Structure 1
Amino acid sequence: MAAILLSSDLNKRRGCLLYKNEKEVDSGSPSDVEILENPTDSNKRKLLHVLDDSEVVYEDEEGPITQADLQRWFVDDWDKRAPVKVSTDGCTNDFLMVGLSTKDMPVTKADSIDVLCDYIMAIEDDTTLERTWVRSFNPFKIEISVKDLQNILTTTQYMILRCFDMAVRLLANKESRRPKEEIINNRNHYMDMRFWRMVGFGKLPKYHQDPTTEELAKTLDCWPSMNYYITGCRYVLMPWKFNGCHALFVIDHVKKHVTFIDFTPTQDWCKHMPYKRFAEAIIMASKKYKIAYNKKRSGWADDIFKWEHIIQTGVPIDLRGFNTSYLVLQAMAMWGNDRRLKFVGDAKTLRRNFVIDLLSYEDNSCRYAIPANIQQRLVDIAKKD
C-alpha cells in the first residue's frame, strides 16, 4: 500500500524532499499519542489490518507483493535501517537524493535539476561557498564560486557581470557546434560586457580610464571555439546595461541598422520618444565601435549612430528588472534564425538551467573540484536530454 501511495499520480509530494523545513512537519496533538507497553519491542508492532500473509496486495515489474512482504519491509526491518549521515557541508549523495526513488517514482529531467539546485541552495558552510566550481581561461579568466551559483538561483538578485560573460562564452561554444550551413549566411558575433565596461557608460570621466585601440579590437575577436573573422559576420550582438538592467543592441552590417531590445518598461520621461532612452548609449558606443571595427577592417568609417534605428516590439517586460540579463541571453541565442523570438519567462527555470549549463561546461577547468555526487547527477541530467 505504501508503494502504491508513493508512486500515485495523485500524490502532490511525489518527487519532493520529505521535509523541506520544520514548518511542514505536523507535530499533532497529545490526544493522538498512544502509549505502548514496550515501544522498543518491534515484535509487538503489527499492521493495523492484518490480512493473510500470502495474499497479494500489489504487483510491480518484479512480481507480486504480499502482505508478508509489507510486514517485513515496513515493520520488522524498520529498526534495522541505517541512519543517513550528512557532513558539515551537506555533500552526501543520500542528502542530495532524499525523497526521490528512481524505481517507484520515475524522475524527470526537471525533477533532477530541481533537486540539484535545491541542494546547492542548502549549502551553508562558508568554506564550501567560497570554493570555485567553474573556471575558464580562454579568452580571459573567469571564476564562479558556489556563492555565485546561489546568487544566480535567487530570483531577486541581478546577474553579476562575470556570470554574464561566462554565459556569452557558453553561447559561443554552442554556436560552434551548429552545422556550418545554418550559420554561414547570418553569422553572429557575440560580445560580452567587456565593451560596455571599456566605454565607461554611466561613469564620470575621472573614474574611467579610456581603453586602447587594441583592447577595443579584442572585443571583436573570434571566439576560441570558432573560426571566423568579424568582417564576415552579419550581426554583432552588443549587450548593454542601464541602471542594473540589461538590454541588447543588434548591429546589422548588411542592412546597416541597429535594433534595440529592451525588457524594461518605458519610462515617463521618454514615452513620447522611446529612442531618447538609448541616445546617449548609442552615441558613446558608436565612437568606440568605429575605432574597434576599423582596427579589424582598415578604412571602415561608418557611424552606427547615423544608421536606421529600430526598437524591437513584442518582447516580455520585466517590471523589477532582475531577470533582464537572462532575457538578453535568450535573444542572443535566438537572433538570426528567421523565426519569431519566443522567450521563456519563468525566472526560476531560466536560472536553474543556466546553473546546469555552467556546471556541465566541458572546458571548465574546475570540473573535478565539484563533488563526485554532483558530477554524477549532472551526468544523469545529460542522459535525459
Structure 2
Amino acid sequence: MFDTFNLMGTDQITMDIVVEEGNVDVGNTAEPSYEVVARSGCSAQLSTKDTDEHELAIESEDSKVSVGNAAKQSHDVVGVGIDCIFNHAKVSTEADLGPQPDVIHLTSLNVPNESSQISSDADMVEQNKQDALDTLIRISQHKKPKKLNVARVVSEDYKCTPEDVQLIEYIKTLPGKQVVVDIDSAWLNRNDMECLFHGDIQLSGEALSAYIHCIRDEEHLLHREGGKVFLENTFISSLLKRDGDPKMLLNCKEDTIEQRVDNYLQSDMVFIPMNIENFHWYLAVLNAKKSEVHVLDSMGQQITDRRDLYITLKGLERQIKLAAEHKELYQGKWSNLDVASWPVIEKITTQMQTDGVSCGLWMINYMEYWTGSSLSDNVTQDDITMFRFKLPAILWDSRLNTKKGHQNLDHNVDEDGQSSSDVQIIDTPCELSKSSNTSHQIEPYISPYVLPAKVTSTNTQELMFVLCTYIMGIDNAKYLKKHWIQSTKPYPISLSLQKLKDILDVNKSMDTDCFNMAVRMIACNDALFLLEDKYHYMDLQFCSITKFGRDPRLRAKPDINMLAKLLECWPDMEYDVSDCKQILLPFSFMGHFTLYVLNMDTRSIYIMDSMPIPSWFKGDHPSMHYIHNIHYIANNMNAAMELANPTWKDDIYMWRRIVPTWVPRTLNWDLSGFLVINFMHDWNGIRLPCICTNGNDLRTKFLVELLKYKDNESKDNIPEEIQEIIRHIR
C-alpha cells in the first residue's frame, strides 16, 4: 500500500472501488540466457537454398555449425552482422557449441578484421553498405502484436530469434541520439531504447506508446468481445491527468480535444495507460456499456490508492464538457458522461508481476489481450521478461516505423547529435560533463531577441526582463542542451539551459536538480559562519534515498549509512550535526513541496506548507493532515541520527507539531517549490518574513540567483553578454 499522501487544493475524492474474484496465472522471473556463438577465425556468409530456407552458415577448417532458425517463407530475409558484410571478416567458433538455446544473445557485432581486403572502388563499398542495410529492412514475421491468424500467442513468440539478436546488436552500435524508431510520432532514439536492453530498468512512456501504436495497427484488435476499442497512448494520458487540475486552462485550438472526445464516444471501451509518476504503470479501461472503470494492475491488489486515476478521469470529464460547448456530442454508446463518478472495479485480483520493473510491459500486454471480460491469451512473468528483449526488434520491423530504411551506416553523428544524414534527432538528457576552459559565444539566431552590446541600464527590473526575454526566445535544441551551471561537491549536479528555461514556464513545477542546487548555494554561504546558531540544510536526497511514495512492500529498505551521510556538514563548512539548533528538511511528492523544520532545542516540528489545508480535512489538529509524512520522516531521521550522533536518544515522532498560520499561502501547486526554497533562505529560527507569492517574480528571481552562483564550474559556458547582465543585477 502507498504511504498516504495529501493532494492539496483538490476536492475530496470519493470513488467506489469493487474487487472481483478471479484467478490469474503468476509466472516466475527468469533472466534471458546470453551466449557467445561467434569468434574470430572463421567466415560468415548468407546462403539461400533452392528450398527457400535461409540460414547463416559459420564455417571453420574443422567444423561447420548452423546458427539460426530456417525461415519457411520465400520472402523472409534475415539480418546478418554489418561488419561481416562490409569487411568480409573471418569469424571462428569452437568445434562443439552443443545444442543451441532458444534465445542467443551475441555480445557484439564489432568483429576484429584481421584479413579484410579493402576495395579501391568507392562505389562498390557504398553498394556493399546499402546491401547490408537492406538485410536489416526485414519483412516482419513477429506474432506480436497478436496477428489475426494467430489463435494463441505462446511463450516462443516472446523470445528473440537469432535474427532478432543480430538486429538488436546492430541497433546498439548506433549513435545515442540517432532516431531509430518513429511510429506514428512516437520517437525513440538509440538512448531511449536503453531500457529495452537491460532487465532492471522501467520502460519509458515513449517505448510503451510506440508499441501501443503497433497494436492499433492490428484492425482485429480494435474490435473485441466487449465492442469497439480505442487505445490511448501515454502522452495523451498525461494530458488527461494534467487537465484534472481545475486550475489548468483548456484550449481546443491548442489541443485536439474535440477529435479525442469524438474517438472516445464512438467506442465501447477506451484503454488508458496510467502512470503513478516514476513508480508504476497499470491499465484503466473505460467500459461505456457498463459505465464502469476496469483496472488491470499487474500487482493485483497490492496498490489500492487510485488517486491518479481519479484525477485523470476528472481531466477527461473536463475535456468532454468543453467539447460539448463547441458541438453536439454523439451519445449512442455513452449514457453517462460523468466518468469520474463511474465505479472502479479491480479486474486482476492476483499479483502477476514478480519483479519491480516490468509493470509497463504487463500494461501493454493487457492492452493487447483484454477482451472486456477476460484476457484472451495467457502470459507469465517469464514471457514478460523475454518480451522486453524482443521489443526493439518488433518496433524496428513494424511497417509503421518510418526510420527503418533511413539509418546512417557510417554512424556519422557527432556528440551533439548533429548528423549529415536525414536522420531526425530528438532531445535526450545530456551526460554530465566538465566545463570547457574556452568561452562559448552566443551562436547566431539562437534567440530572436538581441542582447545589447553593452549594458547601460542599472534598473534591476529592466535587466531581468531583458535576461528572461532572451532565454525564453531560445529554441535551438542543440544549444538548449548546453550545461550552464554545474557543481560536483558533494555530488554532481548539472543544469542545462533547457532546465533554466523551464524555470520561467508557468506551467511547470520546480525541477529537483534546480532545487538541490539552490539548497547547496544556501548551505554553503560564507555568511553562515557568522551565525551563532548553526542550522543544517538538507536537500531532496532524503526523499530520493527513502523513496517516499512507493509501496513499502515494493521498495527496498533505505540505506541508513547513506541517510547518515546527509547529516554531515556541507563542503568547506565546519560544524557537526549534534551542534545544530535546527535541521531544515524539504519534502517533495508529486511536484508538491513542504518544509519541515526540526528544532532540537524545543523538540518541535514546524510544518511550512504553501498550500492551504483542504476544507474537507476533519482532524482535531492541522498537523494531523501531515501525520503520515511526519511518521515516515521521524522513522528514517531517528535511524540516521543514531548513526550520525551517537548521543541521540530521542524520538522525533513524539515532538510537538506546529503548523504556523503566518506561512505565505497560494493555490498554485507549481509554485510550492519556489516558495519552499524562499522559506529555507529566509527562516530565522522563529518565523518567516513577508514573502512574495507572485509566480513570475518568484521564478525570475530564482533563475537570477542560480546564474549568480559564484562556485559555478560551468560559468565559461554562459555567454559573456549574459554574464555582464547578471553582474549588473543587484
Could you state the TM-score of these two structures normalised by the residue count of structure 1? 0.70
Using the TM superposition, give the Cα deviation of residue 329 of structure 1 relative to its aligned residue in structure 2, in angstroms: 1.2
Q: Higher RCO, 1 or 2 (CA under 8 Å, sep at least 6)?
A: 1
Cα distance 1:242–1:147, how it changes in 2: closer, same or farther (>3 A)? Answer: same
Separation of aligned partners in 1, 2:476 and 2:688 = 45
Correspondent of 1:128 among 439, 455, 479: 479
Cα distance 1:340–1:284, how it changes in 2: closer, same or farther (>3 A)? Answer: closer
Contact 1:237-1:248 within 8 A present in 2 as well: yes
Using the TM superposition, give the Cα deviation of residue 163 of structure 1 relative to its aligned residue in structure 2, in angstroms: 0.9
State the secondary structure of the residue aligned to 1:258: strand
In the alignment, structure 1 segments of 5+ residues that lack a partner are 1-84
Separation of aligned partners in 2, 1:197 and 1:223 = 18
- Which stretches of structure 1, 4 residues or longer, exceed 3 Å deviation after superposition? 337-340
In the alignment, structure 2 segments of 5+ residues that lack a partner are 1-441
Separation of aligned partners in 1, 2:725 and 2:582 = 37
Contact 2:619-2:625 within 8 A present in 1 as well: no
The one-letter code matched in structure 2 to 1:355 is L
The one-letter code matched in structure 2 to 1:177 is A
Correspondent of 2:706 among 358, 371, 377: 358
Contact 1:250-1:258 within 8 A present in 2 as well: yes
Separation of aligned partners in 1, 2:572 and 2:508 = 30
- Equivalent runs, 1:364-375 vs 2, <5 Å: 364-375=712-723
Equivalent in the alignment of 2:450: 95
Correspondent of 1:317 among 665, 688, 691: 665
Equivalent in the alignment of 2:216: none
Equivalent in the alignment of 1:167: 518
Correspondent of 1:236 among 567, 575, 583: 583
Equivalent in the alignment of 1:282: 630
Equivalent in the alignment of 2:548: 201
Using the TM superposition, give the Cα deviation of residue 207 of structure 1 relative to its aligned residue in structure 2, in angstroms: 4.6
Matched, 1:158 2:494: no
The one-letter code matched in structure 2 to 1:365 is E
Using the TM superposition, give the Cα deviation of residue 299 of structure 1 relative to its aligned residue in structure 2, in angstroms: 4.1
Using the TM superposition, give the Cα deviation of residue 95 of structure 1 relative to its aligned residue in structure 2, in angstroms: 0.6
Using the TM superposition, give the Cα deviation of residue 134 of structure 1 relative to its aligned residue in structure 2, in angstroms: 0.7
Using the TM superposition, give the Cα deviation of residue 338 of structure 1 relative to its aligned residue in structure 2, in angstroms: 4.6
State the secondary structure of the residue aligned to 1:331: helix
Contact 1:240-1:246 within 8 A present in 2 as well: yes
Using the TM superposition, give the Cα deviation of residue 316 of structure 1 relative to its aligned residue in structure 2, in angstroms: 2.0
Separation of aligned partners in 1, 2:548 and 2:540 = 11
Could you state the TM-score of these two structures normalised by the residue count of structure 2? 0.38
Separation of aligned partners in 2, 1:252 and 1:277 = 20
TM-superposition CA deviations, 1:123-167 (whole Å, max 9, x none): 000001111111110010001111101111112210011111111
The one-letter code matched in structure 2 to 1:279 is I
- Equivalent runs, 1:258-337 vs 2, <5 Å: 258-273=605-620, 274-336=622-684
Contact 1:97-1:115 within 8 A present in 2 as well: no
Contact 2:584-2:596 within 8 A present in 1 as well: yes
Separation of aligned partners in 2, 1:227 and 1:144 = 27
Using the TM superposition, give the Cα deviation of residue 222 of structure 1 relative to its aligned residue in structure 2, in angstroms: 0.5
The one-letter code matched in structure 1 to 2:633 is A
Using the TM superposition, give the Cα deviation of residue 97 of structure 1 relative to its aligned residue in structure 2, in angstroms: 2.8
State the secondary structure of the residue aligned to 1:97: coil
The one-letter code matched in structure 2 to 1:189 is H
State the secondary structure of the residue aligned to 1:96: coil
The one-letter code matched in structure 2 to 1:370 is I
The one-letter code matched in structure 1 to 2:510 is M
- Equivalent runs, 1:216-255 vs 2, <5 Å: 216-255=563-602
Separation of aligned partners in 2, 1:147 and 1:294 = 41
Equivalent in the alignment of 2:57: none
Aligned length: 288
Indicate the RMSD between aligned Cα atoms, in angstroms: 2.2
Separation of aligned partners in 2, 1:219 and 1:339 = 25
Contact 2:666-2:693 within 8 A present in 1 as well: no
Cα distance 1:172–1:299, how it changes in 2: closer, same or farther (>3 A)? Answer: closer
Contact 1:172-1:225 within 8 A present in 2 as well: no
- Equivalent runs, 1:54-203 vs 2, <5 Å: 87-90=444-447, 95-97=450-452, 102=456, 106-174=457-525, 176-178=526-528, 180=530, 183-184=531-532, 186-203=533-550
State the secondary structure of the residue aligned to 2:584: strand
Separation of aligned partners in 2, 1:288 and 1:337 = 23
Separation of aligned partners in 1, 2:683 and 2:447 = 41
Contact 1:270-1:276 within 8 A present in 2 as well: no
Cα distance 1:196–1:88, how it changes in 2: closer, same or farther (>3 A)? Answer: same
Cα distance 1:338–1:213, how it changes in 2: closer, same or farther (>3 A)? Answer: closer
Using the TM superposition, give the Cα deviation of residue 346 of structure 1 relative to its aligned residue in structure 2, in angstroms: 1.9
State the secondary structure of the residue aligned to 2:564: helix
State the secondary structure of the residue aligned to 1:322: helix
Cα distance 1:178–1:269, how it changes in 2: closer, same or farther (>3 A)? Answer: same
- Equivalent runs, 1:30-45 vs 2, <5 Å: none
Correspondent of 1:256 among 592, 598, 603: 603
Cα distance 1:333–1:224, how it changes in 2: closer, same or farther (>3 A)? Answer: same
TM-superposition CA deviations, 1:315-342 (whole Å, max 9, x none): 2222121111111111111222556522
Contact 1:86-1:95 within 8 A present in 2 as well: no
- Equivalent runs, 1:337-356 vs 2, <5 Å: 338=686, 340-356=688-704
Using the TM superposition, give the Cα deviation of residue 107 of structure 1 relative to its aligned residue in structure 2, in angstroms: 4.1
Contact 1:89-1:125 within 8 A present in 2 as well: yes
Separation of aligned partners in 1, 2:553 and 2:499 = 30
Contact 1:263-1:327 within 8 A present in 2 as well: yes
Contact 1:199-1:284 within 8 A present in 2 as well: no
Equivalent in the alignment of 2:560: 213
Contact 2:455-2:724 within 8 A present in 1 as well: no
Aligned-pair identity in percent equals 30
Farther off after superposition, 261-270 or 143-152: 261-270
The one-letter code matched in structure 2 to 1:166 is M
The one-letter code matched in structure 2 to 1:165 is N
